[in-house]
Amino acid sequence: MERPLRAPCIEQNPAPAPSSAQLDRARAECNADGGVDCDAPGIIGSDAALCIARTAGLPAGLYPAETGLVYNYGTKRIHWGASVTLVDDGSQGASGSSVSIEASTGIVIERLGWSATP
């Protein structure tokens, strides 16, 4: 069921390679931890990841969405994270929403909310 949702995002947003520093760090952590598909070719780009996150329900935020490529120790895979700030109360804190996406397949792993206080 996920494939129809992510296919257009991947096709319409060809992957410019993630920064070599981000990808190298994620792959090194993945390999050191015995992760899965650490050196898989075809890591999707941040634009495709953000498109998938939006399709999966990531709302528009107060500021532009942020994406980052990281190794997830729980799933033992490299993920894209896409995150938005929904509430920013300055010195009182902020909260938002994020989506985690498996970086070689584009499968949505989880959706969650977040909050931060100073």
Domain segments of the chain as ranges:
2-116
Residues pairing with 116 in the sheet: 94
The residue whose two tokens read 């992760």 is 35
Name the token pair of 62.
């107060």
Of 13 and 17, the one with more pLDDT? 13
As separate numbers, helices (DSSP H) first and strands (DSSP E) second, the chain gives 3, 4
The span from the CA of 102 to the CA of 100, in Å, is 7
CA distance from start to end of the chain? 40
The torsion defined by the Cα of 21, 23, 26 and 27, in degrees rounded to 10, comes to -110
Residues pairing with 115 in the sheet: 95
CB of 43 closer than 8 Å to CB of 22? no
Per-residue pLDDT reduced to its tens digit, 47-74: 999 999 999 999 999 999 999 999 999 9
Of 28 and 5, the one with more pLDDT? 28
Name the token pair of 54.
């939006």
pTM of the full predicted structure? 0.84
Beta strands in the chain (DSSP E): 66-72, 77-88, 94-102, 108-116
